[in-house]
Amino acid sequence: MFRIDVDNINGKTESLYVFGDKSILTELEAHNVLINYSCRQGHCGSCILKLVDGEVLHQECLVPLSEGEVLACQSKPITDIKITTKD
Ligand code: FES
């Protein structure tokens, strides 16, 4: 089981405990932590988050990402992670 710390959601940090078998976006939704998204397929870039700490397995991504950015819809945690909304 992995821990996802999400910073900057309504000005506070949320901690979720997940198995790492679903995307970060799906896990956030399951825990009522809402972030922007649109396509859910790695095409639009709406769901970009900053990975502050830890590692993720990143799947299909057609969006150019900067260092430390991940697509919530296309990544799963493989360690405990800390993420934050972009700015
Ligand atoms: S929702 Fe479109 S890239 Fe994630």
Instruction: Read off the pLDDT of residues 13-49 as tens digits, 9 standing for 90 and up.
Output: 889 999 999 999 999 999 988 899 999 999 999 999 9
Under CATH, what is the fold of the domain 2-85? Answer: Ubiquitin-like (UB roll) (3.10.20)
Domain boundaries, the chain: 2-85
CB atoms under 10 Å from CB of 40, counted, come to 16
Q: Check pLDDT > 70 for residue 9.
A: no
DSSP 11: T
pTM of the predicted model, to two decimals? 0.92
State in Å: Cα 1 to ligand 1 middle: 25
Can you tell me the distance from the alpha carbon of 38 to that of 21, in angstroms, rounded to the nearest whole number? 21
CB of residue 79 inside a 6 A radius of ligand 1: no
Pocket test for ligand 1, best of 28, 34, 44, 76 (most atoms within 8 A of CB): 44
Question: What integer pLDDT is reported at residue 12 of this predicted model?
Answer: 81
CB of residue 23 inside a 6 A radius of ligand 1: no
CB of residue 45 inside a 6 A radius of ligand 1: yes
State in Å: Cα 43 to ligand 1 middle: 6
User: Could you write out the three-class secondary structure of 23-87?
Assistant: CHHHHHHHCCCCCCCCCCCCCCCCCEEEEEECCEEECCCCCCCCCCEEEHHHEEECCCEEEEECC
